[in-house]
Structure 1
């Protein structure tokens, strides 16, 4: 295996060989593999392109076999995340910490830099897991314990913030990390991502700690004011580079390789974009016509053709990037923090900057952007500022359904109508995933203890710790 940069997913090879002929994993390969899995399709261990939260956030509609979009089949397993990319990331940390291996694996970057990157990605991954299920194994996970306890989400959040703070300050001036198919070993961009993630996690706690001097605001400000900065332009976007060939963009695999058309852009999204005269409509679907949201199979098969797939055709390419987090989302977070009094920044300026950055991500600038911002439906001073921020953030996060669903649960924006043919008991949009049957079979006592802490038990309607009415 060569180590000449490993800046593309195609560059990574055998994760269990190294120049000294030992069985120590090549950490550059582990890093690349974990990143590729983070950007992969749901059904494996995807985070970035999962579809179920996109149904709940009404970004997508199911076209042929509606089930998840009708809030059915709520029991979902998380074991694959632990045995997949989380295990790889923990292995990177372990190999760079163990005195018997740390010198060997330093060929893939300085020990400190590799550990910092792995800790940031671990924090991101655990954030996405706890925000789907709530309490999950954390402190006893990844240690070979087959029956780890479930940590409270409150405690997980506290440790994620600590991990990010320490990771940002843990980089050194040593060899850049190899196997990095996001930032190509750029430490400063990793620090900006970590600070931005820390701000987003802090804001997610806004209903628990709403006060300007509270825990969440304090964490937000510490990350905002860190000397490394935060994400502000699209050059800072956390984008996974899929080069094509053996490592293809997951939407391309779904639509082109597998020739499946199960997912469409929803009419909820296309109608909203059209109502705002939003030019991004031309990019968010292969056509500007959305598939009606929340139909059962009988109604779905009767829908007239012409509806759009998720994303425009040129964005469904084998070598297209997958975005884990974009700068616009961070700017909207700062706008909200300013609006609720957490910071002294100008909320309107940040709101408008966020819109402009999102538009630029999709190829729009100048007069088109200003015309959009000047509409009464978009102008910051023409309505409820938090509703404006929440709606525009929903537009800007597309197609990241998990973050859109999480923000809808936290803020209630935009206002969404549940599926007409919803099959769950309450007929309401789910607020969490239900623990999988596998956990009840292999870790029964601990999953039952976690379920007992949920109001109403282990249901998809139970609100998690930060999800306050």
Structure 2
């Protein structure tokens, strides 16, 4: 049962990467100095459960990740989230969270060592490696150059000062690793069963997930390395593995409103345990949905009453202290307390990747003629919107005709205008997935966002990346300084990662 697995992993994951070494001084040193309850081996299933859960939850609404949602103007953080107002600060927690998950994947590899070509280990290792690619992509997308090739591969040889690889070298390496891992997935092999929160051990679905991740890697390179981008996208579109084909293929972690707080959807936990400063929607998102008469608006946002009239109103982003002090919070919308912020509503899964994501990538690829005709672009786009409408908590089974005609139509539009529509619908659909929304907004440049009035430390510009952990400055200084020297604006919010060309 998944709730039982969630409880087990909370206790065991912290011991997943313990260093156990003997000594030549005492014959039985290791045996006599190891408490009988110590964790020296960990079930890979418990590790993968923790990795998938934490990795997915970190994408969503809680600190320290809510800042990215405010940068793309889904949320409107105030003084409690200073970086949402463009004040710089190192991303210590995000950095350590990712490398802890990556260390746990290394532990899975240690536990399954020698079984790389055996049905008992082959596909389990491949699944772990595919998610490893997912994590490394997210980490490099946030920071740019990161430790990759010299990161510790074994608990017997720890490297505390790995070099920072260039992002332009990391991306091809990730694509290569993903291809190798996909080739190992074999139906009939032992898998992770119910500990696999995404697919319950279904290897075919992991093939689709891995190949869809390849499509995402390729599209992220569109403006930085077009040749590799096209090659990668075409290969993913044509691969026999398939791509996510409907919402039943979505990679998601189930959540439980009546369980321990850590099992709640992160956006819900933001309401039940976080500051009120984290709960309000940005005016950019609310106004976009209002202007389009989008049927998702009343399901996403809580209405407010102003002068006796029920309406929806978002807070401006990155406001000054004076502006924030004058706000009457009751006049502004939070996510709907009957859906996103409900303790009794059917729990909303926390998503890692959805069919809608893939439809929008396919629509973009079709506009470029990469693996599909430009005439197919609208069909993929329409299917993506339909899939986004159907996701909980919206559960809308059809697109209103007026919305299709007035908001979605491609008639008489240039390819650039079509791309803006695709990217804007993706931006709406990615609400609650802050890191991915931030990456896609930087990549596409859509929707066009106006910075808030608070200048912060960026002179009023929306940040383009996260700042490295201060631990790297202290413990890996030489490699850190080498990476920073490659940036146009140093280790700041305003330096762009390699693929960010818009």
Q: TM-score, normalised by structure 2?
A: 0.83
CA distance in 1 between counterparts of 2:425 and 2:233 reads 21
* Equivalent of residue 165 in structure 2, options 140, 143, 151: 151
Say if 2:280 and 2:333, in contact at 8 Å, map to a contact too: yes
* Equivalent of residue 30 in structure 1, options 36, 42, 47: 47
Per-residue CA deviation, residues 414-464 of structure 1 (Å, 9 max, x unaligned), is 000011113124321111112232211110000000011111322211121
Partner SS for 2:168: helix
Matched, 1:73 2:74: no
Which residue number in structure 1 is paired with residue 313 of structure 2?
289
1:66 Cα deviation from its structure 2 partner: 4.9
Matched, 1:224 2:257: no
1:73 Cα deviation from its structure 2 partner: 2.5
Which residue number in structure 1 is paired with residue 6 of structure 2?
9
Within a 5 Å distance, the mapping from 1:176-187 to structure 2 comes to 176-178=191-193, 179-187=195-203
CA distance in 1 between counterparts of 2:72 and 2:411 reads 26
Which residue number in structure 1 is paired with residue 363 of structure 2?
335
Which residue number in structure 2 is paired with residue 416 of structure 1?
449
Partner SS for 1:385: helix
Partner SS for 1:176: coil
Q: TM-score, normalised by structure 1?
A: 0.89
CA distance in 2 between counterparts of 1:177 and 1:8 reads 12
- Are residues 6 and 116 of structure 1, via their aligned partners in 2, closer, same or farther at CA, if it must alter by over 3 Å? farther
- Are residues 72 and 448 of structure 1, via their aligned partners in 2, closer, same or farther at CA, if it must alter by over 3 Å? same
- Are residues 87 and 310 of structure 1, via their aligned partners in 2, closer, same or farther at CA, if it must alter by over 3 Å? farther
- Are residues 56 and 11 of structure 1, via their aligned partners in 2, closer, same or farther at CA, if it must alter by over 3 Å? same
1:365 Cα deviation from its structure 2 partner: 2.4
Which residue number in structure 1 is paired with residue 306 of structure 2?
none
CA distance in 1 between counterparts of 2:348 and 2:7 reads 14
1:11 Cα deviation from its structure 2 partner: 5.9
CA distance in 1 between counterparts of 2:46 and 2:269 reads 22
Matched, 1:302 2:339: no
Matched, 1:118 2:128: yes
Which residue number in structure 2 is paired with residue 43 of structure 1?
none
Matched, 1:463 2:477: no
Deviates more, 1:309-318 or 1:341-350: 309-318
Bigger Cα Rg: 2
* Equivalent of residue 430 in structure 2, options 397, 404, 413: 397
CA distance in 2 between counterparts of 1:66 and 1:82 reads 21
1:82 Cα deviation from its structure 2 partner: 4.5
Which residue number in structure 1 is paired with residue 228 of structure 2?
215
1:8 Cα deviation from its structure 2 partner: 5.4
Deviates more, 1:124-133 or 1:67-76: 67-76
Per-residue CA deviation, residues 87-143 of structure 1 (Å, 9 max, x unaligned), is 1112112211246xx89xx9xx93112111111111111111101110000111133
Say if 2:123 and 2:191, in contact at 8 Å, map to a contact too: yes
Partner SS for 1:295: coil
Structure 2, unaligned stretches of length 5 or more?
A: 17-37, 304-311
Structure 1, unaligned stretches of length 5 or more?
A: 41-45
1:81 Cα deviation from its structure 2 partner: 2.7
Aligned residue pair count: 448
Deviates more, 1:255-264 or 1:161-170: 255-264
CA distance in 2 between counterparts of 1:140 and 1:439 reads 14
